[in-house]
Amino acid sequence: MIPEYWRTLWRDQLRDRWYLLLPVAFVVIGVLIPLGYLLIRAFQADASELYALVVRMRNLELLWNTLALTGGVLAGTVLLAFPLAWLTTRTDLPGKRALTWLGVLPLAIPGYVMAYALLGATGSQGVIAETIGLPLDRLSGYTGAWVALSLGTFPYLFLNLRTALLGLDPAIEESAQALGYPRWQVFLRVVLPQLRPAFLAGGLLVGLHVIGDFGVVSLMRFETFSYALYLQYAASYDRIYAAWLALMLLALTIAVLFLEARLLKGLLYHRTGTGTGRQATPLRLGAWTAPAYGFVGAVGLASVVVPVATIIYWMSASVDVGVPWGGLASALWDSFSASAPAALLAATLAIPVAYLSVRMPSQLTSGLERVAYLGYATPPLAFALALIVFTLQVLPFAYQTLGLLIVAYALHFMAEAIGPIRSSMYQAPPNVEEAARSLGRTPMQAFVSVTLPLLRPGITVSIAFVFLSAMKELPITFLLSPMGFETVALNVWSYANEAMFASAAPYALAIMAFSAAFVGLLLVREKSTSRKTHAASAP
């Protein structure tokens, strides 16, 4: 029956719109073929050499380091995110709406900037020692990476938990209470199980982030697969071992994705009844209000105040010796010249992918959409190395060109562009396009004259998302940028890597501005979509 299925699909849906498949094919080829070449490269050694590369203690050590860091950060983010989410949704803590911001703001501080700020804050010459005379050991290694990543990634978990907590039906808890369960039992047996999907979704984001992270572990000198891959690549021309490390990194990512899918299976909880869900009565904190504020304050201090204050402190040191305006301007231009075309390319590629998946939902189109997300989930260093191997063997003229960097950004961040275009696609119902066709337009003309204008807001947001993400991207830029190409992110990293904190400060501030714009955009969008769905569901 499968050939029949494909035949019908082709005849009924795709034959008139085959050109939609071109960008989709570009994405599939752009992501999958380089990964294939990585595999080929990894096996370009004789058997004994392969054995020596794959079966060695160092790999186990790296695996242990990576897993320990991932596990530690997961635990750390749960400890930060869950109390914060619970306090801001289910209690009467005064000002909880404003405190919600604390759970979001760290998103505006990319990992390597957070690591840089923590390095600049601690130690005998750090900001904390200089200002309040508290000599802390300089953070580094496992502890440093753990602190920086926990503080930087807990918002992913926080946002998921917050949504889930707000969506819980209080009637379920009240029924449990009415059946005689004490409150803490209700919490354990009713509330926590319902939060499992949110823990898994948020945990997946955190886990993938940690596994793929390069900026933090490299600055903190903690050897995970990513960092080892970078060292191997930078230190020698032994690309085979680098390819193996990339494959191990990839395998770990795939394992995490599978684990998450497995754990999530059958975990979709819905309210079964009809009627409007209402919000639970907030828990009165009473005497616990002060400790609650203490916790929230500590989280805010560590995740926002310390890093921002540190960067401002070092910025003032930089102002004293003169801000390198020329360097900053040229770095901004380099970042811009790669990010802007990448954003346009990603949005252009995302339009047909979103169109196919919304208008012709089928196994095929949802599979295509998943390929686009594959580029996003692939650890950036592994993806960049795959592109290097691929270009060196197939397109040597493209190696170390701006064009390759742009394509890499676009393929990696395309997933961010699909979402907004996808949701604006729902504002342009298919029968509007059919109306245009019944008035004499070809499918292409109908799309351009009717659907495209309606997609414009979504496309604009997509371009902005990809642009801002590419501006702060580090590992892909690291491996793929042309000779002498120094983006803002690269400047932050290299100065921080050499403990030149004052020199890094202007660049770090610029990055934070872009990230803050990104987060702001995200929040504005979230708000407007939730308002829209709200208005749509109102009678």
Which of 450, 463, 466, 508 forms a contact with other proteins (CB under 8 A)?
Answer: 450
Least Cβ distance, residue 429 to other proteins (angstroms): 7
Residue 291 contacts other proteins per CB under 8 A = no
Nearer to other proteins, 423 or 515 (CB): 423
Which residues, numbered 15-44, are part of the site for other proteins (CB under 8 A)?
A: 16
State the minimum distance, in angstroms, from the CB of residue 427 to other proteins: 8
**11/527 with CB nearer other proteins:** 11
Q: From the CB of 343, what's the least distance to other proteins, in Å? A: 24
Q: Encoding tokens for residue 354? A: 């979103």
Give Dmax (Cα) for the chain: 77
Q: Which of residues 454-513 bind other proteins (CB under 8 A)?
A: 454
Quick one: which segment of 51-59, 206-214, 255-263, 440-448 binds other proteins (CB under 8 A)?
440-448
Output the smallest distance, CB 365 to other proteins, in A. Answer: 17
Of 222-230, 371-379, 386-394, 433-441, the segment contacting other proteins by CB under 8 A is: 433-441
* Burial class, 207, CB count within 10 angstroms (exposed 0-12 / middle 13-18 / buried 19+): buried
Q: Is 449 in the site for other proteins (CB under 8 A)?
A: yes
Q: Which two tokens stand for residue 433?
A: 């396009």
Is 453 a binding residue for other proteins by CB under 8 A? The answer is yes
- The string of DSSP codes covering 162-184 is HHHHHHS-HHHHHHHHHTT--HH
Which positions from 391 through 430 interact with other proteins, judged by CB under 8 A? Answer: 427, 429
Check binding of 536 to other proteins (CB under 8 A): no
DSSP secondary structure letter of residue 237: S
Residue 425 CB, nearest approach to other proteins (Å): 14
Q: Do 253 and 186 form a contact (C-beta atoms < 8 A)?
A: no
Tell me how far CA of residue 131 lies from CA of 122, 308, 313, in angstroms: 11, 14, 10
Q: How far is the CB of 349 from other proteins (least distance, A)?
A: 24
CB of 351 to other proteins, least distance (A): 17
Q: What angle do CA 484, 489, 491 make, to 5 degrees?
A: 55
Q: Which of 400, 434, 486, 494 binds other proteins (CB under 8 A)?
A: 434
**Where does this chain touch other proteins (CB under 8 A) — which range of 145-153, 234-242, 255-263, 434-442?**
434-442
Is 287 one of the binding residues for other proteins (CB under 8 A)? no
Element counts in the chain: helices (H) and strands (E):
27, 0
Residues in the chain: 539
Tell me if 137 contacts other proteins by CB under 8 A. no
The smaller minimum CB distance to other proteins, of residues 17 and 96, is found at: 17
Give 275: exposed, middle or buried? Use CB within 10 Å, 0-12, 13-18, 19+. exposed
Backbone φ and ψ for 91, nearest 5 degrees, come out as -120, 175
- In the chain, what are the helix, strand and coil shares in percent, each to the nearest 5? 80, 0, 20
Residue 448 binds to other proteins (criterion: CB under 8 A) = no
Q: How many CB atoms lie within 10 A of CB 161?
A: 26
539 binds other proteins (CB under 8 A): no
Write phi, then psi, for 62 (nearest 5 degrees). Answer: -65, -40
Place of tokens 């019908």: 8
User: Which amino acid does the sequence have at 511?
Assistant: I
Nearer to other proteins, 261 or 452 (CB): 452
Binding to other proteins by residue 1, rule CB under 8 A?
yes
Helix (H) or strand (E) holding 64: helix 57-90
Nearer to other proteins, 81 or 446 (CB): 446
- Closest to other proteins by CB, 196 vs 359, is 359
Are 399 and 391 within 8 A, CB to CB? yes
Total residues binding other proteins (CB under 8 A): 25
One residue of 168, 280, 418, 436 binding other proteins per CB under 8 A = 436
- The residues in 94-133 that bind other proteins, with binding defined as CB under 8 A, are none
Tokens, residue 494? 């290299």
Taking the C-alpha atoms of residue 531 and residue 521, their distance in angstroms, rounded to an integer, is 15
Q: Considering the rule CB under 8 A, would residue 532 count as an interface residue with other proteins?
A: no
Q: Which residues pair with 283 in a beta bridge?
A: 91
Residues making contact with other proteins (CB under 8 A): 1, 4, 11-12, 16, 427, 429, 431-432, 434-443, 445-446, 449-450, 453-454
